[in-house]
Chain A
């Protein structure tokens, strides 16, 4: 804590108070984790990243208001306006089964006629609707896959590091084997194998991404635990006869987990990328499911005329890029904070 000279000046007092308040947070997180937090909040790039992520969270939460569903029971089905294959331009009016018009629309557009704001794609799927509700899909899949891979990775990595020796050796060879196949190919295969068994939904792709996604976390947490295992307080706990599981879960993991946790939370962007890639290839969800990869895959049949139908690529593509970029900006700043050598000034 910084030394402050007592004085009657009010501003100085307030600053001191502020320092104390952050100090509590610092005590809670520990000095190293606190440094990571502060570093993240001070980099301009990561602030832009946080803002982007925030905007997408708002879009996801407000999806029913921004793009009201035609069938409220099944909002993830992109509404269709006819069945003709040729995309309709931006701003063309709805002709059949018009969805309810949201309250924000009339003041901005000056009319209460609901149009295809970003046009329709092949099969008259509304692009705007797909993007808005696709945000929810992105967060859902991202969260499920990240949490699952994180937990599996933590358990396997900490068991491996804590027991060491032959257990460690076997587990690490299994990790090598899982890493042998390229990630996207392995996930593609497993999703294709699972789809006929459990039906078309989000789950084949989610299970596939989890199955081939945990190895990174296992490796990172293993390394962190190996270094913490040697600290004196672990030795002390062992000497007084604390059980293995208690040492692992109460003393080692809480001290080793923070960097992995932050990395995991940023992996949500990458997961969405892989998921979109799978559904772009036509694996996983039903045709017409509100998912960015799905919306983009409609463009595959129109590559010769993308100069006319550019909006079926540019808008969903831009959404995906901004989403991933939000997470990447924060992630890049994080790498700098974690690795002081990479800082610009050295």
Chain B
């Protein structure tokens, strides 16, 4: 177990190096002047000043030097102030948001996390339950419905689904508005009485005992949650189903039945734990695909998370900002993949012993 985890940990620096090189390579499509936004807030118009900045930050130096500078930044000889340096959390300045990219991410990420938590948790719980039911009652109603749904569902692009939801539930029925929160609630949130414990709006409003704000936030999130997760429902169901079917055919399950255990125990105590192994991997992948999915979902619903910010920046060709988001996403995904792999070893002895 320990050697497995150590071997897996050794992969992390490699992945970090690879991802940073990949993003650095994309930076090279920019001119040195555009790249100077990595270090300075306002790029001057004056040509001499631009040349000075390029020289100061070594933007015309060989690639490996530039890469190193990009990683650690440049410490000013006189003031001792560090400019740039992604290792120290400085991703440069966002032209479109007129603030450092890191601040933009810090403001936006809690909203995305809030949305993702609500989009993941119900899917995993209900999806697994439905999948087990579909396997136990094979070719029954849930099974057939899931099959139909997953074919139709995978053919619906996220943005078409989102736009149709908006058309139906916002424009026609006026039930669920887009955006993050209503104006009246927003005013409450920015008063001093409202304590920000976690920065996640739904959890903060619960901790503050403001059920009205919680409901308002959830009302705004319901359509994005469904849009983000409608594909995962079917995927979780189908993977759980096929894994469960396979497990139910194993001999130890027959043994359990033969010795007279009640069917409930056979299914939930003996078969299900083993059938969950592929589902753990899937849960990891679904975090990855959700982080990709928020780009479109948040844009459609005008939801102020990192995905919307990334899409806006990309549409206005503000590459520094977009690459900052890519870096941030890369870090999150490397860490969450690590967690998934370790969890995988915990649940499946075959992985850690091989």
Q: Do A and B come from one complex?
A: yes
Contact B325 A185 (CB under 8 A): yes
B: interface residue count bin: 35 or more
Q: Is A78 an interface residue (CB 8 A)?
A: no
Closest to A344 in B: B139
**Nearest CB on A from B64, distance (A):** 18
Indicate if A50 sits at the interface (CB-CB under 8 A): no
Task: Please state if A307 and B333 are interface contacts (CB–CB under 8 Å).
Answer: no
CA distance A313 to B300 in the complex (A): 12
Given contacts A182-B333, A188-B322, A193-B26, contact A296 B315 (CB under 8 A): no
The chain B residue with its CB closest to the CB of A272 is B157
Would you list which residues of chain B between 146 and 164 have a CB under 8 Å from chain A? 151-152, 154-160, 163-164
**Residues of A with C-beta under 8 A to B152:** 325
How far is B171's CA from A320's CA once the two chains are assembled, in angstroms?
Answer: 22
Asked if residues A192 and B18 are in contact (CB atoms below 8 Å), the reply is: no
Measured in the bound complex, the distance between the Cα atoms of B299 and A177 in whole Å is 27
- Measured CB to CB, the closest approach of chain B to A204, in angstroms, equals 10
The docked-state distance in angstroms from the alpha carbon of A344 to that of B143 is 10
Among candidates A197, A269, A307, A344, residue contacting B171 with C-beta atoms closer than 8 Å: A307
Tell me if A233 is interfacial: C-beta within 8 Å of chain B.
Answer: no
Instruction: Determine whether the beta carbon of B322 is less than 8 Å from that of A281.
Output: no
Q: Which of A47-94 contact B (CB under 8 A)?
A: none
A38 CB → nearest B CB, Å:
21
A186 B326 Cβ-Cβ under 8 A: yes
Closest chain A residue to B163 by CB distance? A313
A318 to chain B, nearest CB (A): 8
Chain B residues positioned under 8 Å from A299 (CB to CB): 163
Among residues of B, the one whose C-beta sits closest to the C-beta of A313 is: B163
Asked whether B237 is an interface residue with its Cβ less than 8 Å from the other chain, the reply is no
Q: With A180-B15, A281-B296 known to touch, is A189 a contact of B159 (CB < 8 Å)?
A: no
Find B245's partner among A189, A191, A346 (CB 8 Å cutoff): A346
Is the beta-carbon distance between A182 and B296 smaller than 8 angstroms? no
**Within the assembled complex, what's the spacing in Å between the Cα atoms of A313 and B156?**
13
Question: Could you mark each residue 297-312 of chain A with 1 if its beta carbon is under 8 Å from any beta carbon of chain B, else 0?
Answer: 0011001111110100
In chain B, positions 272-308 with a C-beta closer than 8 Å to chain A are 288-289, 291-293, 295-296, 299-300, 302
B residues near A277, Cβ cutoff 8 Å = 157-159, 296
The 5 A-B residue pairs with the shortest CB-CB distance in the complex, in nearest-first order: A182-B292, A177-B18, A325-B155, A282-B315, A306-B167
Give me 8 A-to-B residue pairs in the complex whose CB atoms sit less than 8 angstroms apart, sorted by A's number.
A176-B18, A185-B329, A186-B326, A192-B317, A310-B167, A325-B151, A328-B155, A342-B242
- Chain B interfacial positions (CB closer than 8 Å to A): 14-15, 18-19, 22, 26-27, 29-30, 139, 151-152, 154-160, 163-164, 166-167, 170-172, 178, 242, 245-246, 288-289, 291-293, 295-296, 299-300, 302, 310-311, 313-315, 317, 319, 322-323, 325-326, 329-330, 333-334, 337
A residues touching B (Cβ–Cβ < 8 Å)? 45, 173-174, 176-178, 180-186, 188-197, 269, 273, 276-277, 280-283, 293, 296, 299-300, 303-308, 310, 313-314, 317, 320-322, 324-325, 328-329, 332, 341-342, 344, 346
